[in-house]
Structure 1
Amino acid sequence: MLSILTVNIGAAARERAGELLGWLSARNEDVFVLTETSAGAGTAYLLDRFRQAGFVVVHTPDGNGDRGTALVSRVPLMADLSAFAGVSIPGRVAAAVLDTTPAVAVLGVYVPSRDRSADKTEKKQAFVASLLSALGELPVELRDRLVVGGDYNVIARTHRPLHPGFLPFEFGLLEAFERQGLVDAYEKCSPGEQAYSWIGRTGDGYRYDYFHVGAALTGRINGCAYLHETREQRLTDHAAVALGLGLDAVKRLPTGDLADDVLTLF
C-alpha cells in the first residue's frame, strides 16, 4: 500500500516546527505533502531533518518569500513533473512520479488565500488558471495515475454550510478536477459526509484540504480520513488528511529516525 499525508504547517516557526516533526516522526506514511511552507527557519529545519533522515525532498523556494509546498518522500522518484514548473507561482506546487507499480504521480498544491482586494484575487485566479492549464497538458495516461493533494483554499458549491464570498473560479477548481477525471478521495470513501479541515473564528468549518485521484487509481483507494489531532494539539490550525492506495508494489528508501531529540531555541 502507498500512504500519503498532507498537512498545512502554517509557516511554522522553529519551535513549532520541532513539535510538528515530533508528530510526523510517529507517522508511517510514505509521502508527506507539506503546504504553507515558508522561507523561515522552521521550514528549513523540517526539510533539512527529512533530508538527513534519507527522505527525498521536492521544494522550490520562492525568491519573493511567498508561501509554498514541499513533497517529502521515502519512495524513490522516477521523474519530476516539469509540466507544473510553469504555474504562476512555481513554489506553490511540488510534483514527482514515484517508483511504484503502477507508477503514481503526486502533485502537492497550496493555492493562495485571498481577501477582498483586487491584487490578491487576481493572484489566486491566475494561479488556479495556470494550474488547470498545466493539468490539461498532462498525457491522459499520466493524469489517470495522478494524486493531487494539499490546501486548495476553496470549497465546493455543495459545502455545508455554503459560506458566502467565494467566487465562481474558486468553485470552478474542484469542478475542473472532476471534468479531468480526478475523484475526490474522501467523498469516494464517505459519500455525503461533510468534512472540515479548518475552523474559522466564528466556529464555522471549512473544507480546504483535499486529495483527488485519477481514474486509474479510484478503485485502489482503501481509505481517506481527516486527522484533527494536528489542530487539537495546536501543531497547526488545519487538520491533516491521510490517503491510502492499494498498489501492486512500492519501493522504499532506507530512512532513519526523524525524532527531534534536542530542541534548541533561538
Structure 2
Amino acid sequence: MSDDVMQGLLFAGFGDQPAVDDRVADTELRLCTININRPSPGRAQRLADWLAATGCNAIVLTEVQAGPACDLIRTTLDAHGYLLQTAPGWRDQRFHTIVAAKGFRLDAVEPPGFDPRITAVDLSSAGGTIRLVGVYAPTNGMTPDSSQRRRAFQQQFTAYLADIFHPRLCVTGDLNVVEPGHRPHLPNFEDHDYAFYRGLLNLGLQDAYRNCHPDGTDHSWISPRFGSQRLDHALLADSSALSSCVYDHAPRLQELTDHSALQLVAGLTG
C-alpha cells in the first residue's frame, strides 16, 4: 500500500467532519501544521476552507505575511470558533506564525519568542496542558549571509526552547532543515543545520513522524531542482500518547500551497 493511500486511510473523514467541539480537546490533540506560502486572497480562502474542514483542534500556520490574505484566514478560523495567537510585533515583520486552537484555553507563553516567526502558547483542557511552539525558521538561501542568519536563529531558538521547556512540549512548523541521513542526501544543507536538528533531540524532543514511521520517506516540499525535502516537523517531549503522525499531501496537490500538511494525533489524558 502506498504512503498516500495509507495516509488517506489514517485521516479518512477529516474533511467530512464538522469542526471539532470543545469536548474533543478533553481527550486528544489533533494538530495540523502547514506552511501556507504567502497566499493570494483567492488561494487564502480555499486554504482557509480546507483548514476549517480538517477537524483539527490545533492549527499552526507558517510563512504567514500580514495583509488581506492573512486577515481572511484569521477571520475564517475565528468564524469557526478558533482562538488565534501570534507573537508581538507580527504586523511589522516580513513573516510570522499563527497558532489557532479550539476547545482549549489558550495562553501566551512568557517570555515570548525573540522573533514573530515563533509563537508559543499553552493549550489547556481537562486533559492537562500542552505547550505548543510554532516556528517558521529562515529558509536556506544557499549564500554565506543566509547561512549566518540561519545559524544565529537556530542557536537562539534552541536556547529559547531550553528556557521554556515543558514536560509536554510540542515544537512544530517549517524548520527549514532536514534530519541527518535524509533521503535523498541534500548537499546544500550545512553542518549547523544538522546540529540544529540534533540539538532539538538533545533537549529531550522526539521526531513524531520518525517515531511513527522509522523507515518513512515522506517529503513535505517537492523540488526537482533542489531535491525533495522533509522540512516540516513536529517534535514532542512526551510521545507516549502519540497515535499517528502523517503528511497530508492534498494541500500541495490541490495547489493550496507548495507544502504538504503535517497532521498529528495524540491523547491528552493518562
With the shorter chain as reference, the TM-score category is 0.7 to 0.9
CA distance in structure 1 between the aligned counterparts of 2:171 and 2:111, rounded to whole angstroms: 14
Question: Per-residue displacement from partner, 1:11-68 (whole Å, max 9, x unpaired)?
Answer: 1110000110121121100000000000221111101222233311111353544112
Give 2:65's aligned residue. 38
Contact 2:37–2:63 at 8 Å: present in 1 too?
yes
1:19-58 to 2 correspondences below 5 Å: 19-58=46-85
Ranked by relative contact order (alpha carbons within 8 Å, sequence separation 6 or more), the top structure is: 1
Does 2:266 correspond to 1:245?
A: yes
Uncovered stretches (5+) of structure 1, i.e. residues with no partner = 250-266
What is the alpha-carbon distance in structure 1 between the residues aligned to residue 71 and residue 181 of structure 2?
38
Structure 2 portions without partners, runs of 5+: 1-27
1:263 match: none
Native 8 Å contact 2:241 2:266 kept in 1: yes
Query: In the alignment, does 2:235 pair up with 1:212?
Result: yes
Distance in 2, matches of 1:199 and 1:49, equals: 28
Q: TM-score, normalised by structure 2?
A: 0.84
Aligned counterpart for 2:256 among listed residues 204, 213, 235: 235
CA contact (8 A) 1:18 1:46 kept: yes
Give the one of 103, 109, 133 matched to 1:107: 133
TM-score (norm: length of structure 1): 0.85
Q: Distance between the aligned counterparts of 2:142 and 2:51, measured in 1?
A: 35
1:194 aligns with 2:217: yes
Q: Which moved more, 1:20-29 or 1:60-69?
A: 60-69
- Aligned residue number for residue 19 of structure 2: none
**What amino acid maps onto 1:39 in structure 2?**
A
Q: Which amino acid letter does the alignment assign opposite residue 24 of structure 1?
A: L
Contact 1:84 1:95 in 2 (8 A): yes
Counterparts in 2 of 1:1-266, with a 5 A limit?
1-60=28-87, 61-62=89-90, 64-85=92-113, 87=114, 90-100=115-125, 101-139=127-165, 142=166, 144-202=167-225, 204-214=227-237, 217-248=238-269
> Is the CA contact 1:2–1:246 (under 8 Å) kept in the aligned structure 2?
yes
Q: Is the 8 A contact 1:84 1:134 kept in 2?
A: no
Is the 1:84–1:131 contact (alpha carbons within 8 Å) kept by the matching residues of 2?
Answer: no
SS in 2 for 1:242: strand
The 1:78–1:12 alpha-carbon spacing in structure 2 relative to 1, beyond 3 Å, is: closer
Task: Note if contact 1:3-1:30 (Cα within 8 Å) is conserved in structure 2.
Answer: yes
Residues 52 and 77, structure 2, Cα contact 8 Å, conserved in 1: no
